[in-house]
Amino acid sequence: MNLVLLGAPGAGKGTVAQELVAEFGVAHISTGDLLRAAVKGGTELGIQAKKYMDAGELVPDQLAIDLVKEPLAADDAQQGFILDGFPRNTAQAVTLDSELSAMGREIDCALLVDVAPEVIIDRLSSRRTCRACGYTGTAADATCPKCAGEMYQRDDDNEATVRNRLDVYEKSTSPLVDYYRGQGLLKSVNGDQARETVYGGVKEALGL
């Protein structure tokens, strides 16, 4: 299973990826997680990326490509991988196809987690994240249900930034749907449902 996850920020791609990883043991390559780790670690790449992330803009193509090349080549990705947050535009998709071809590999499926924009705005602007363990909850969580750590709102989860992220997604990332549809690789699932229902739809769409 070599899978590209598509969908707007907050559509639930990360949740879908976590469930597939838990059941099938494939590698989860999340550019969001990789970028946040680079920012937290103060790496050169992280410093460059932070200004784009804080504004809700996409990081430049080359920076994103450099970020995913190493995990794609890692041992744990050889039995399959889920790309979450990459590619973000058709130029990155073409480069990804080229990089994978050089490794003797290819994308098996592009799965679109489809959610209406207003649902995403409400979902993300009320999202809270644990500083200690990274658990994702809501504004109703005073402390982390998993580790009792402090819950906070990420800089890119305020409503103005969320709206900008969705605008960027529509301009840059939604053409990927047409790109993968043209390759006959696109599958779609309604992400505005209960978590179990969404995952059932994912497995059905992927034939698992």
Q: Find the catalytic residue in 50, 123, 128, 165.
A: 165
Which sign, positive or negative, has the C-alpha torsion 45, 59, 198, 203? negative
105 is catalytic: no
146 is catalytic: no
Strands 186-190 and 109-114: parallel
154 is catalytic: yes
Q: Find the catalytic residue in 50, 127, 128, 187.
A: 127
Q: Find the catalytic residue in 36, 50, 88, 128.
A: 88
165 is catalytic: yes
Phi, then psi, of 73 in degrees rounded to 5: -90, -10
Hey, how many other C-beta atoms are within 10 angstroms of the C-beta on 63? 16
195 is catalytic: no
Q: Find the catalytic residue in 154, 163, 181, 203.
A: 154
How far, in Å, CA of 117 to CA of 9, rounded? 9
Residues in the chain: 208
Please give the positions annotated as active site: 13, 88, 127, 154, 165
